Structure 1
Amino acid sequence: MFVRTLAAAALALTLGLPAQALDLSQMTEEERQIFREEVRAYLMDNPQVIMDAVRVLEERQAAAQAQADLNLVSENAADLFDDGYSFVGGNPDGDITLVEFLDYRCSFCKRAHGEVAKLLESDGNIRLIVKEFPILGDQSLLASRFAVATKQIAGDAAYKGVNDALMEMTGDVSMRTLRRMASTFGLDADAIEAHMDSEAVTDEIRRTRALAQRLQITGTPTFVLKDELLRGFLPFDEMQALVDEKRG
């Protein structure tokens, strides 16, 4: 349909007619043949027309996606920014909020972790909300259950330490390595392990997954900065520029 419309528009330009003046369905076979030859000749002489049309189409699609994302964020603002259970870090009273959906087995999340930490340290006025979104298999889910259980049992400070450690972790995630991590932080490994499969932990992860589905998030890391969805890894400089833009 796009090619057919483009061809009609090209022929109309050739003949100096409005595109809507051409009704392809009413053409005879001879008229169609003439039409094809005219279009081909026009496009051979003006190949940039195709690239221009593709560029305009891509720009319109990007604008439509951006508007759709704005609507999704607005419709789910309460669950994004004030769900009552997600970890809140950075400056809790900051003038702008950054939400991150993460998976501890995601290599790009691990790269983003340092960039986000640098942003929080250099800016000092950003509120960070972390959403546990394990999507990369059993080890991802095990790590998230451990992190959420730590938060629910031992509080936000313990969660922050565990979150950092899990992001820096390079080996496989197992209950043995998680218990060792808990002991390193002086946490009650038995209590945390016993709580990992609780309904409270399951419900938090389930609610975050439902939120991600509503937001059409399929990969990590995904960020929400104020009112905008940002899909994928972003380096520090780009994040800071976006923060400055949102403040402006």
Structure 2
Amino acid sequence: MTMTRLAVPAITALALLAGQAQATDLTQMTDDERAAFRIEVREYLMDHPEVILEAVTLLEQRQAEAAEQADLDLVQANHDAIFNDGYSWVGGNPEGDITLVEFMDYRCGYCRKAVPEIDTLLKQDGNIRLIVKEFPILGEASVISSRFAIATRMVAGNDAYAEVHDALMSMQGDVSEVVLRRMAEGLGLDAEAILAEMNSDAVNDELSRNHMLAQRLKISGTPTFVLEDEMLRGYLPAAQMARIVAEKRQDG
């Protein structure tokens, strides 16, 4: 951040005051000296209240930079679990030069809102690899939906998962066995096999691993995206994601 002309003398003055205090050592000041110093600082801030705003702005910038670096470190530390777990559904261009990972919940309104944005991004850019992480956090209906989607992939494969994923994302109303059975049958899938798989150890293990990964990444909401080395917490329109993709390619 470039400091304003006002900020430079203001900060300099505060530094001088701090230097004066350091030279004297606040712990060694008498009560009268400490009181006088406090009055001097207060009078300066009252004369130049904009300094407080500048200090807050600088603090917020430093906090944002620290949070960004912390996210970079988290992604690096969990790289294989994020990008190469061996079970999550992979779409888009599996050989793409950029990878976008989404932690999603079928009952999440913003996840649903993100569906056309992701579709647009993938259609406009044919070189993006998409990974979907089932991360149900909005109640029992979310968990049931994710169990059904994962079981579908295990029983019927990736293409069937993609169809079920889209159907669950657009589904209105409550989730029940009857509704899921009808959905599977409508897609020409083996409903009995999928329903039987929903509470299997394999499905339990995948959900558990996704939740533990999200916990390590400090993810508490959906959608959350990992775009290469960067975490994007929350909904983003396709145009904004496309700009970030372009930056990643340029930096790479």
Please report the TM-score for the alignment, with normalisation by the length of structure 2.
Answer: 0.91
Q: Tell me the residue number matched to 2:107.
A: 105
Q: Tell me the residue number matched to 1:142.
A: 144
**Residue 153 (structure 2) aligned to one of 133, 151, 154:** 151
Q: Tell me the residue number matched to 1:3.
A: none
Q: Cα distance, 1:20 vs. partner?
A: 3.9
Q: Tell me the residue number matched to 2:192.
A: 190
Q: Cα distance, 1:48 vs. partner?
A: 1.3
| Residue 209 (str. 1) matches residue 224 (str. 2) | no
Structure 1 alignment gaps of length 5 or more: 1-8
Distance in 1 (CA, whole Å) between partners of 2:26 and 2:144 is 60
Worse-superposed segment, 10-19 or 70-79: 10-19
- Residue type at the aligned position of 2:105: D
Q: Tell me the residue number matched to 1:4.
A: none
Q: CA RMSD in A?
A: 1.7
Q: Percent identity?
A: 60
Q: Cα distance, 1:95 vs. partner?
A: 0.7
- Residue type at the aligned position of 2:76: S
Deviant stretches of 4+, over 6 Å: none
Would you say the 8 A contact 1:11–1:38 is kept in 2?
no
Q: Cα distance, 1:15 vs. partner?
A: 4.8
Cα distance, 1:242–1:20 mapped onto 2, change above 3 Å: farther
Would you say the 8 A contact 2:101–2:227 is kept in 1?
yes
Distance in 2 (CA, whole Å) between partners of 1:63 and 1:80 is 22
Structure 2 alignment gaps of length 5 or more: 1-10
- Residue type at the aligned position of 1:66: E
Would you say the 8 A contact 1:10–1:42 is kept in 2?
no
Cα distance, 1:34–1:146 mapped onto 2, change above 3 Å: same
Q: Cα distance, 1:161 vs. partner?
A: 0.6
Would you say the 8 A contact 2:90–2:131 is kept in 1?
yes
- Residue type at the aligned position of 1:38: E
Q: Cα distance, 1:16 vs. partner?
A: 8.7
Q: Tell me the residue number matched to 1:6.
A: none
- Residue type at the aligned position of 2:121: L
- Residues 1-248 of structure 1 correspond to what in structure 2 (within 5 A)? 12-13=14-15, 15=17, 17=19, 20-21=22-23, 23-248=25-250
Offset from partner CA, 1:203-237 (integer Å, 9 cap, x none): 11111111111111111100000001110111111
Q: Cα distance, 1:179 vs. partner?
A: 1.1
- Residue type at the aligned position of 2:112: K
Cα distance, 1:19–1:70 mapped onto 2, change above 3 Å: farther
Please report the TM-score for the alignment, with normalisation by the length of structure 1.
Answer: 0.92
Distance in 1 (CA, whole Å) between partners of 2:117 and 2:163 is 17
Distance in 1 (CA, whole Å) between partners of 2:66 and 2:18 is 31
SS at match of 1:158: helix
Offset from partner CA, 1:179-207 (integer Å, 9 cap, x none): 11111111111110000000011111111
Cα distance, 1:145–1:51 mapped onto 2, change above 3 Å: same
Distance in 1 (CA, whole Å) between partners of 2:22 and 2:230 is 38
